[in-house]
Structures are given as structure tokens and as C-alpha cells.
Chains A and B, each alone.
Chain A
Amino acid sequence: MYSASDLRKGLKVQLDGEPYIVTDFDFSKPGKGQALYRTKMRNMITGNQFTQTYRSNDKFEKPDLEERTMQFLYSQGDEFHFMDTSSYDQISLTRDQMGDNINFLMDNMEVQVLFFGGERPIDITLPIFVNLVVTRADPWVKGDTSGTDTKPVTVETGYKLQVPPFVEEGDTIQIDTRSGSYMTRVKE
């Protein structure tokens, strides 16, 4: 069990049988008054958010969450299929559940799948850095009116991002999956 004083940004708790994550948190205490724990919670399954103020004596169940390493197999329509590399169990996630992760997902990629209640997959975490091949890059024209020292490219997953002008078609680049931004060019 967690108590209200454990609440902080990023803490996962169970409310009404569903897992929630604290997305915003503030501690307040008027002079001589009660401690108030003001939170914004996001349902980890539906994505619904709500705000709630808790008191010192409020208690929270720990949600049954477990991460397993799984390999991406293939996608079919809106379904993304993964396999547990030790038990060979297969599961699928919907496009909604995948969110922006599809921008960086490659065949055979190993990801962390989050399970709620033992068997319900609800989220995935990609490796922080992935290497992807640039499939389309326009030549950079110095003095470009946009006034920035970057240019747009497309990588093999279809994701578009801004990179430095020296990146060319066929290069492999490293991308931070948390921000979706360019990190470095990878030497072959």
C-alpha cells in the first residue's frame, strides 16, 4: 500500500481496479492546516485524466504491473504482434496503445511490454536510442530562407524529423525515442 505522502510525479497506483500514473503533483498545506496532496492522474489503460486532492490518511493499492522483454514480430492492420523471447507467448497491442512508438518500431526489435494483472498488455517502452536508415533527404541549400541550420529527412519507418545538413540519403542515424529527435550520425 502507498500512503498519500508517497505520492509524486510518475508514481503508479491502483484506483477502482485500474492502474493510474501520477502526471502532476503538488503538496499544499495552509498555515496550521491539513496537508493536501493535489494530483493529476492518468488511467494507464484508457488514457483518461482527472485531478484529485488527497489527504494524509488516504491509502492506495499498488497496481500489479510487470514488464517483460518481447520481440516485435509484425503488424497486421491496426494490430501489432509481439513474442516473449523466453516463453514464446504471443500478444498484440492496438495502434492506439502503440501511440508514437510506431515511428521507431522495426522488425525483430526488442521492447519492454508492460502487463497489468499478469496478462493484460497495456503499454510498451522502446529502447531509448534506435538506429534508422534515412530513406529520403533533400540536398541542403545554404542560405535557405527558413533560417535554420537543419533540414527535414524521412527514415525507413516513414517518420520525418529535422537533422543537420550533412546527413544524406542512405546514412544511418541515431534517434532518441523519448523525444523523437536526432542524436548523431552512425558510422557504418
Chain B
Amino acid sequence: MLTPRGLQQRSHLLQAVRSFFFSRSYLEVDTPIRLPVIIPEAEIIPIQSEDWFLQTSPELCMKRLLARGCSQLFQICHCFRRGERGRLHQQEFTMLEWYRTGWSYVELMHECEEMVRAVTAQLAAEEDAQADISIHRAGKEISFASPWQRMTVQDAFQCYGGMSAGEAVGKGVFDQILVESIEPNLGWQRPVFLYDYPIGLASLARQKDDNPEVAERFELYIGGVELANGFSELTDPEVQRQRFAREIGRAGDGDTQQSMPEKFLQALADLPDCAGIALGLDRLLMILVGAQNIADVLPFSESDL
């Protein structure tokens, strides 16, 4: 639960994010949070609202707007994922999501870095956003000076995981190694982008042209905390349909049966090349104010209600 001072910091963060995107001619949108069909993802469980769903992400609607001719979009919205409760998770949380046509994940990684730096500087009331900024976490100083580190998933697994990423996927321990052995080491000197994820773990990301084994996807880590997930967007409706079918097939017993997002797949035919990213705004605020628990940066956490 936030104090009046904390609420002010949260308000400043929202304001700083908006000014960053407005200064770059992004259009702010507010798409519906209650949807009849959501992204089929085996590992994300939606919360039902009558026979519709609360959004797990604004991705489908935002991409449909890109297909309609928008070129730069951002949205700050609440997303809902059932059963996700922990130090870094709340079932209802705040997402910042943005898209840009004509870009790949490379340019987007760079813009993500610029956005977090600009917002951090503004919160620190720094006059010059180019000046070196740093934050403190767990007794360590993390420098936000450019350029931030970039590391492939493959290298991270070799370095910290004790096996290749492909081997980890094959043994079904990719997520466990990532969480237990890799993530705690990431982003303690500078923020780090982990990139090029095994293709089998990508649902909506484009396959890398010169390496069919990986998808053009990245995640941002600061002080061991995963903050953002971005990718070059898959624009092929047929490949997308196959991937959704795979996700629907993986859903376990007792999970809500997902259906195919037909209108989204229809719109995908008109989606230009683009890149998009989702960033957990609550977690960014945690990093900036040095909070250990996501509940500490929310106006009300679930247990406050």
C-alpha cells in the first residue's frame, strides 16, 4: 500500500512515461480490458468475466489498431492473470505496452533503454537526461549509463545455467534454470537485455532470419528483476494460427478452454512489420524506489482490499 508520498512517485512515473512517448509522437490508446477472446497461452490463466475474459495483455487489440493503419502506439493499462501472486506478481497489475511499425527488436531494445533512462532521470529530477544515472538495490549500485548490456539466451545458459538453452528446453527445465540460476545474476552492474529465445517458447514473436532455432525476442532485467518482454512481431497469419493451436493444445485439464482469436488472425494479414514490448510498470516503480515487494508500490494490493 502506498503512502501519499509513494502515490506521488507513482503519479510522476505515469507522467514521465507519457511525456516520453508524446515527445516521440506516439499515440496513446485505451483498448477494452474485457474481451470475448484472448491470446491463447498455455502458461497464462485468464480471469473470467461472465462468459468473457479480463485481458491478460492488450496485445491483440493493439496489433489490430496497427493493422488499421496506426504506426506508433502506446498504452498504460491493467492486466489480469489468475493465480499469479508473489513478491513480483499480483493478479492485477499495470502494463505499459508499445508498438512501432518499421522497427525490429533491435531498435526497440534501444528505445526501451532510452525510455527507462529518461523516466529515471525525470523521477530523480535530473536536469540532463544524458547524465549518468544509477539506482541502488540490495546494497549494490546499478549504473543506468548507456550502453546497457546485451546477452543472448544461449550465452546466459552457458554462463550460469550449466547447459545449453536447447538442452534445457529438451529436458523441460528451461524455466526452472532461468529462474533459479540465471535471473538472480542478471543486471547488477548495468541493466541487461537477454535476447534470442528458443523458437519453441515464442508464441507471437518472429523467427530470426539467419537462425531458425530462435525467435527475435528479448527481456530486460535490472537487479535480477525481469521488467519487460519485447519482440519483432510475427505477421504471418498461418504461422500464428499454428502457434495458437499448439498453445490451445497444451492447456491442461481444468484450464479454461481457449478459442482461436479469428478476428485478430484476419487483421494480421494487414499488419506491417513492427516490433512491440510490454513492460511491468509496477516493477519499474519497485526498481526506482527500491521496493522489495510489488505490493509496496500499488495504491492497493490484493491483500489491502
A-B pairs, top 10 by smallest CB distance, nearest first, are A27-B86, A33-B175, A31-B229, A34-B175, A28-B179, A5-B83, A30-B178, A30-B175, A34-B43, A31-B219
Q: Which residues from chain A contact B85 at a C-beta distance below 8 Å?
A: 27
Q: Which residues from chain A contact B302 at a C-beta distance below 8 Å?
A: none
Interface: A187 (CB within 8 A): no
Instruction: Give the Cβ gap from B49 to chain A, nearest Cβ, in Å.
Output: 20
Do A29 and B176 have beta carbons less than 8 Å apart? no
Using an 8 Å CB-CB cutoff, how does the interface string of A22-43 with B read, 1 for contact, 0 for none? Answer: 0000111111111110100000
> Which residue of B is nearest A37, CB measured?
B86
**Inter-chain contact total with CB atoms closer than 8 Å:** 53
**Interface SS of chain A:** loop
Could you list 18 further interchain pairs (A-B, Cβ under 8 angstroms) beyond the known A32-B229, A36-B179, A38-B180? A26-B87, A27-B84, A27-B86, A27-B89, A28-B179, A29-B43, A29-B84, A29-B86, A30-B175, A32-B44, A32-B202, A32-B203, A33-B174, A33-B175, A33-B178, A34-B175, A35-B83, A53-B179
Q: Which residues from chain B contact A34 at a C-beta distance below 8 Å?
A: 43, 175-176
Chain A contact residues (Cβ within 8 angstroms of B): what range?
Answer: 10 to 19
Using an 8 Å CB-CB cutoff, how does the interface string of B201-222 with A read, 1 for contact, 0 for none? Answer: 1110000000000000001000
Interface: B183 (CB within 8 A): yes
Do B226 and A31 have beta carbons less than 8 Å apart? yes
Do B180 and A53 have beta carbons less than 8 Å apart? yes
Question: In the docked arrangement, what's the CA distance between A29 and B90, Å?
Answer: 12
Given A27, A36, A56, which contacts B87 in the complex, CB threshold below 8 Å?
Answer: A27
Give the contacts of A106-151 with B (CB-CB under 8 A): none
**Which one of A5, A35, A53 has the highest number of Cβ atoms from chain B below 10 Å of its Cβ?**
A35
Give the contacts of B80-138 with A (CB-CB under 8 A): 83-89
Do A32 and B43 have beta carbons less than 8 Å apart? yes
Question: In the docked arrangement, what's the CA distance between A56 and B41, Å?
Answer: 15
Interface: B252 (CB within 8 A): yes
Q: Which residues from chain B contact A31 at a C-beta distance below 8 Å?
A: 219, 226, 229
Instruction: Give the Cβ gap from B161 to chain A, nearest Cβ, in Å.
Output: 12
Interface: A57 (CB within 8 A): yes
Q: Which residues from chain B contact A27 at a C-beta distance below 8 Å?
A: 84-87, 89
Question: In the docked arrangement, what's the CA distance between A35 and B176, Å?
Answer: 9
Q: Which residues from chain B contact A29 at a C-beta distance below 8 Å?
A: 43, 84, 86, 89
Question: In the docked arrangement, what's the CA distance between A36 and B88, Å?
Answer: 13
Using an 8 Å CB-CB cutoff, how does the interface string of B152-186 with A read, 1 for contact, 0 for none? Answer: 00000000000000000000001110111001000
Q: Given that A29-B89, A33-B43, A35-B43 are known contacts, is A53 also in contact with B84, CB under 8 Å in the complex?
A: no
Do B176 and A36 have beta carbons less than 8 Å apart? yes
Q: Residues on B close to A: CB < 8 A?
A: 41, 43-44, 83-89, 174-176, 178-180, 183, 201-203, 219, 226, 229, 252
Q: Which residues from chain A contact B83 at a C-beta distance below 8 Å?
A: 5, 35, 56
Question: In the docked arrangement, what's the CA distance between A38 and B183, Å?
Answer: 14
Q: List 22 A-B contacts (CB under 8 A).
A: A26-B86, A27-B89, A28-B88, A29-B43, A29-B89, A30-B178, A32-B44, A32-B203, A32-B229, A33-B174, A33-B179, A34-B43, A34-B175, A34-B176, A36-B176, A36-B179, A38-B179, A38-B180, A53-B176, A53-B179, A56-B83, A56-B252
Q: Given that A27-B89, A53-B176, A53-B180 are known contacts, is A32 also in contact with B84, CB under 8 Å in the complex?
A: no
Q: Which residues from chain B contact A35 at a C-beta distance below 8 Å?
A: 43, 83-84
Instruction: Give the Cβ gap from B45 to chain A, nearest Cβ, in Å.
Output: 9
Question: In the docked arrangement, what's the CA distance between A56 and B175, Å?
Answer: 13
Give the contacts of A27-70 with B (CB-CB under 8 A): 27-36, 38, 53, 56-57
Q: Which residues from chain A contact B180 at a C-beta distance below 8 Å?
A: 38, 53
Instruction: Give the Cβ gap from A21 to chain B, nearest Cβ, in Å.
Output: 19
Given A26, A33, A53, which contacts B201 in the complex, CB threshold below 8 Å?
Answer: A33
Instruction: Give the Cβ gap from A1 to chain B, nearest Cβ, in Å.
Output: 13
Question: In the docked arrangement, what's the CA distance between A27 and B174, Å?
Answer: 16
> Which residue of A is nearest B89, CB measured?
A27
Q: Which residues from chain A contact B201 at a C-beta distance below 8 Å?
A: 32-33
Question: In the docked arrangement, what's the CA distance between A150 and B178, Å?
Answer: 50
Instruction: Give the Cβ gap from A99 to chain B, nearest Cβ, in Å.
Output: 30
Question: In the docked arrangement, what's the CA distance between A33 and B33, Å?
Answer: 22
Q: Which residues from chain A contact B202 at a C-beta distance below 8 Å?
A: 32
**Which one of A30, A33, A35, A56 has the highest number of Cβ atoms from chain B below 10 Å of its Cβ?**
A30
Instruction: Give the Cβ gap from A31 to chain B, nearest Cβ, in Å.
Output: 4
Instruction: Give the Cβ gap from A36 to chain B, nearest Cβ, in Å.
Output: 5
Question: In the docked arrangement, what's the CA distance between A5 and B85, Å?
Answer: 9
